[in-house]
Amino acid sequence: MNGLIGPFTLQLKVAFITGILISAPIWLYQIWSFITPALHKRERRFAIFFVGVATPLFTLGATCAYLILPHAVKILLGFTPSDLGNLIRFDEYLDFVLRLILLFGIAFVLPLFLLSLNILGLVSGRSLLKPWRLAVFLIFLFTAAFTPTPDPITMTVLAIPLCILYFTAGIIALLIDRKRSKRSVNQSLNATAIDPAEPI
Measure the CA–CA gap between 54 and 105, rounded to whole angstroms. 9
Give tens-digit pLDDT for 111-133.
Answer: 888 888 888 788 888 898 999 99
The rounded Cα 189 to chain-centroid distance in angstroms is 40
pTM above 0.75, yes or no: no
What b/e readout covers 78-93, taking b as 16+ CB neighbours within 10 angstroms?
eeeeeeeeeeeeebee
Measure the CA–CA gap between 31 and 42, rounded to whole angstroms. 19
Question: Rounded mean pLDDT of the chain?
Answer: 81
- Asked if the model's pLDDT at residue 198 lies above 80, the reply is no
Expressed in angstroms, the distance from the first to the final Cα of the chain is 97
Q: Residue 2: its pLDDT value, please?
A: 64
Q: Residue 167: its pLDDT value, please?
A: 93
Q: Are 106 and 58 in contact (CB under 8 A)?
A: yes
Within a 10 A sphere around the Cβ of 178, how many other Cβ atoms? 11
Give tens-digit pLDDT for 132-149.
Answer: 999 999 999 988 887 766
Q: Residue 138: its pLDDT value, please?
A: 92
Higher-confidence residue of 46 and 174: namely: 174
